[in-house]
Structures are given as structure tokens and as C-alpha cells.
Amino acid sequence: MIFCLVQGDAIKNSFPIDTRNYATFGHLRTAIKDAKQNAFVGIDADRLTLWRVDIIQTKENQEVIVKEHKGVELHSFESVGSYFQETPTSTNIRIIVEPPPPATTEKGKRSLVDSDEGQNSKRAKFADLNIISTAHKIMEGIMKLDENESTYSNPKNFLSLPYPYLGEKLPIDRFAIDNNRYFNFMGRKEFRNILETINKLRSGTGYMKLFVYGTVGYGKSHILSAIACFLFRTGRRVVFLPDCRQLAVDPVDYTKSALFLAYHDDDAKINEINSCENFENIIDFCKKLQFKEKLYFIVDQMNALDELDDTGVSLEIKQQIRRYIDKMSNYHYYIMSSSANNKSMLHLMQKQTGELKIKLYGGFNEEEMEEWWKKYSLPAMNDQEKERIKDITGKIPLFLNFLLEYSHENFEGAFAYLKQKLKSIIQNPMTEYSENLLGNKHTWDRHVGLMSSFITNTHPKLGYREGDYDHRYFYIEDDDICYYVCGLVRDSMAEYLFEKREVAIFTDIKWISRISDFKNNPSVKGFFVEKACIASIFRNGLMANRVNFKPGGMEFFYNEKEIKFSSNEEKCMFYLPCCWNQEAIDGLLISQTKDKLYVAPVQITLNKDNHSDSERKFFSSIWPNIKPTLSSFEDKLEIMFIWITHRSETDESVECITKKTRNKNHEINPNYTRVVIGFGNVNSDINRYLHNQIVKIEETNRESDKETKEQKSAQRRRGRPKKSL
């Protein structure tokens, strides 16, 4: 006697067959068909496939089919005795019976016996045992989770959750999923809000759809994955489609995998799902459920089905898939999620349609941010350095996680790595959006006006349109204030607009007044001051050492070899480095008159006393490359190094320094004039909004000078010989 099992059945449904009267497996097939007549209606015995396995029958295994049966196919001509002893003593399941696939009219057409629900058992196509095993394993993990929603909304909790999707194509680009298919989830305050809104969905008498959208990197996908786990845990059937990019590649199999998990405990439904050969079959399956139970469809990354999203899938297919999803979920609860830039979603945001809506903008709140700091081992940081991290990342989880990728010994190394990573994923997509608006002057002007409001956190001008800005990186809150998602977005957009010569933005009081908001972040404060100074010089000119620099043009350079000055006419050019915070200078003024050629590197700093030696760096790295191009002006060349800082100082002449090497004089620096100009001489508004900080800088410098004098005095006293008695 051996125990057999029909593929797809629970182990508790195994049945014994007495093998003593059957010489071959061909004979055994007939006996199995006779024993399970209802399971094999309309199926000849010779169409059954037998697999030799060895599965222990225990109470623990009653609901869990073996993960991999690794069976050996048993052929009709083989003898039973060659595989099994005459009287087996084991109660293990030794044979799995696999029925043939259902008959069809044509390839891709509906099954001949799927005309109504009463025929489901006849048309059932038994699911692969691996799928069933994985589904049970995922649900085992989910059922061990806490069913108290507060666990998932408390940022003190860092949870390990089973990823609630059955398919092989997991979104590893957005999730760190381990080999056991678990991902980490930090409790988020918005979990409760989303869950409460889902619980308000009502069939017939209320909303049945929820639309969750927001800016890049908020953590929408992680929250929705945790929501799916919680709904499963509390007895709801969830159809979780986490990645519409993969859905677009193979919509039928991708959706069936989600349905398998939803019906992990219903063998008949699983076999019915497995029999679906096209999306129309899936739609029919879901439609027939409407009066029995409601499914919770959670569809993430809907922006992948947008016409502007380049996924390699045609627009026609994307539109078809959107129609499929709408039909499939029509009689059930439907939670959809997308980045706020999705064209279809923008339409939903503007219209009073039949959906509830939740906006998720920005990143962590302060409580969540504090718990994140506590959780991870990062380079030692003071409060000011933490403010820099919070500013450049916007406290966005996706961006903060870059800090965890690489081991950094110090803050500066970690910050530089973080900034480089953020630039690589933000700058190109953001500026490409702006570039697409350049063709129409009216659209471009509206865009520039809006960007000015976004990077200064002010009210937008009237008359803007939803397509005038990139909703992934910018958003307008209910208070009608414009916001950027993170400091890197703000700085990158400012640099982009500057290169487009939209300098009026940076002399506007909206920009300059923001200087006072960054008193605890000198780096950002310096960025705002620098842009305001350069824009003011370009628009209004600069008087330095009795020379009036009035730029007639602006050019950007990546390296000093790109600086080309034409001697054909009298003019003044302002050369600016493409990268902010260039090591030696912030700008270079070159002005030609009838009698002179003035070359004036410009360095802008809040406190010159604490700044690096920009003069030495300029004359050692940039000047040697510029000097040969100005050789024709040698007799009338005049050089000055201009510092723009918190207060003016007396101009100072610096003599030429040379160094003799191998019988040759090497110039360290030429004759030049050091000019120190206060912010007020460049733009009085800058001085006004920096006033309190200028006072602090001067107090700090006085204390530093006093300390230096005392140290020198002490050194002199220690150096004097003792008086003899």
C-alpha cells in the first residue's frame, strides 16, 4: 500500500492504493482514476502523470504542501516493484498525481468548460506546488505579525515584514529584500492615516477607491507594503500589485501571482485562478466574487503606466493595462499609488472624482527623524552637521539611506558621498523637465516664476498650471506655499536657473530674505549669499579699487582652460565656475578699457578670517592657465583679488613673489591689489538680512584676536632670560 495525492490538494486529502495487484504504473493509473473519479471527470487514465515523491504526513503539514516535490516521473511500462517494496511500511505520500491541462478550442481561447461557475471544478488547472508552498510560507510569516495597528505607526519600531507578493520579480530597486523575502519597515505616522481611510471604504454607500500620491522618496511603497501585510493579518483578501513596470511586461502572470496569495487557503480558487489564460478570464473571476466578498486591490507605481514614463512598453499596452485594472477592481476596493508627476494622477488630483485622496509630501517628521538617527551607526556629527544632512536630504528616507551604503570615517566624507549620490539621481530628471518647457516663452516664464517661489518658499503667482512644474520634486501645500523636497533640489534648480541667465531671481528680496532662515546652516546661508552677490554684480556692476566693473556678458566654465577673452573690443565679462563652491574663486571679472586690462578674481565668504587661502590657490592653479592668453596685454595688465565679505577693509598692494628653481625664476604670484568689499557695497539688502550674523562674526573675530595676542604675549614672556639676583 502506498499513499497518493492529487496535485493541488491539501495533504489531508491523501488516499491509499493497494499496489499488490498492479504490476506496472499503467495499471496503477487506472486504479487511481477509479479511486478519485470525481477529481478526474472526463480525463482518461493514460493522461494522468505520476511522480514519485516522499512527503511526510504530519499535523504540521496538513496545510503546507512540500516546497519542491523533486519528483521522478513514473512511466506506464515501468514495474511498481522497481520503485516500491511489495508491502511498504511508510505512511509517507509516495505518489503525486498530476492531471492534464484543460482542453481548449484554440490557443489563447477560453476553456471549453469554463462557461459558468458550476463547471469550475471541471476546468480547474492545478497550480504548481512551489507556488502554493511559497504562498503558505509568506502567510505563515504574516500571521505571526502584530495585529495592533499602532505597532506600524510608531517610529520607535523597526520591523521585519514578509514581502506580500508571491512572484519572482520583486522590486529590489526600491526594497532591501533578504533571501527569506523579508524587508525592513520603520513605523510611520502616516500608516494610521492610510489604514483609517481604507477602513472607511464602503461598497455601494461610500467610496470604494483611494488614491495615494506624493513626492519622490517619501516611503509610499514601504507603507503600502506594510498596509498589505496588516490587511492580510486582519483577515482581508489583498491583491497586491507592487510594481506596474513588471505588470506591464507580463500582466496575466503578474496578476495571477497576486491572486494566488489572496486565496492561499482556498485550493479550488487557486486552481480556478491558475486556469485563467488571459486577462478577460481574470476580470471574470473577480467580477463573480462581487456578491460573495470584497477584495482589496493595492496597485503601486501607477506612474509606470503613464505616457511620459519610459518603460519600454508601448502607450497602447499601458492604456490597455489601465483598463484591465479598472475592470478587475471595479466591484472591489481599489487603493492606487503613484508619484505626483503621473499625468493621469494629476487629472485625478484636480477633479472631484469618486476617490478618496491622501497626499504624502516631503520626508520624515521630527519624531521619525530622531528615531532614525538613533537606529543607525553614522559618523559622529554635531547639531550643525545634522542640520546639513537634514537640509540636503529633506529628511526623505530614500535619500537618507545613501548614508547607510558606505562606511565613512568622518562627516565630510559621508556628506560628500551623499551629495554625489543625490546629484546622480535628481539633477538630470529635474532639469530635463525644465528643458522641455523652454520651447514656449509663456510656459517658460510661468515656470521660472514658479521656480522662484519654490526655492524661496513663497506664494505662487496666479495663473500657473499643473504642468508648469515637476511634481516629483516640488509641491504646493494647502497653505498655498511652494516647497522643494530637499536642499539638493533647491540648489540644483538655482544653479540651473543661473546658467539660464535668470539672475533677477537672486537679487529679489524673496531670495535675499531667506538668508536669515539658515542661521544654523552656514553652508546653505553661504550659498544664498553667493548667488545674491554674483547676481547683483552682474545686474548692477561693482566698484573696486576705483575701477567700475560693469559686466556685459556672463560665461560659465568647468575648468580654467575654457576661459577665453577676446581683445577685439572694450568690454567686461563675468566668468563663473559651473560647480558651486569652486575651490579657488566664485567668479572672475575681466574688463578691457583703452589703456588697461583688469583681471579680478572674486571670492565671496561670510568670514574672510576663517576662509582658506583662495589667493594662493588662484595664482597656483588658475592663473598659470589664463596668463598665456593675456600675453598681448602684458604692458597694461592690472590684477586685483576681490574679497566680498562681512565688512570692507583698506586696499592692500601685494608684491610679486618668485622662486628660483634650476636657474629659472618661477612666479608664485604677480603684483596685485587685495580688495576687501563689504556685502553692503554689493547689495544693501544682503547686509540687512545678515546684520545679526555679522555682529556675531565680528564678536567671534575680536575674541579670536584677543586670544591670539595673549598667546603671543605668553610666548614672548617664556622666551625672556631670567634676571640674575
680-706: per-residue pLDDT in tens? 999 999 988 887 776 666 666 666 655
The answer for residues whose C-beta is within 8 angstroms of residue 209's C-beta and 6 or more apart is: 201, 333, 334, 335, 336, 354, 355, 356
Q: What is the spatial distance between Cα 503 and Cα 529, in angstroms, rounded to a whole number?
A: 13
Domains of the chain: 2-100 (3.10.20), 132-360 (3.40.50.300), 368-502 (no CATH), 523-690 (no CATH)
Q: What is the spatial distance between Cα 700 and Cα 683, in angstroms, rounded to a whole number?
A: 24
Q: What is the spatial distance between Cα 248 and Cα 305, in angstroms, rounded to a whole number?
A: 8
- The DSSP annotation for 343-354 comes to HHHHHHHHS--S
Helix (H) or strand (E) holding 554: strand 553-557
pLDDT at 65 over 50: no
The pLDDT score that the predictor gives to residue 105 is: 41
Name the residue with higher pLDDT: 676 or 70. Answer: 676
pLDDT at 191 over 60: yes
Residues recorded for the chain: 725
The answer for residues whose C-beta is within 8 angstroms of residue 430's C-beta and 6 or more apart is: 470, 472, 473, 489, 492, 493, 496
The percentage of residues in the chain with a pLDDT greater than 70, rounded to a whole number, is: 86
pLDDT in tens, 561-595: 788 777 666 789 999 988 755 678 999 999 998 88
* C-beta separation of 92 from 56 below 8 A: yes
Query: Which pLDDT band holds residue 723 (cuts at 50, 70, 90)?
Result: very low
The answer for residues whose C-beta is within 8 angstroms of residue 575's C-beta and 6 or more apart is: 554, 555, 556, 557, 563, 587, 588, 589, 590
Cα torsion 83, 88, 92, 93: sign: positive
Mean pLDDT across the stretch 512-531? 90
Give me the residues paired with residue 357 across strands. 211
pLDDT at 283 over 60: yes
Mean pLDDT across the stretch 347-363? 77
Residue 524: left if φ>0, alpha if ψ -120 to 50, beta else—which one?
alpha
Query: Which pLDDT band holds residue 724 (cuts at 50, 70, 90)?
Result: very low
Sheet strand arrangement including 333-339:
237-241, 295-299, 333-339, 209-214, 356-360
The pLDDT score that the predictor gives to residue 481 is: 96
What is residue 79's DSSP assignment? B
Give, to the nearest 10 degrees, the angle between helix 220-233 and helix 129-143: 90
pLDDT in tens, 126-175: 557 778 889 999 999 999 999 999 999 999 999 999 999 998 888 888 89
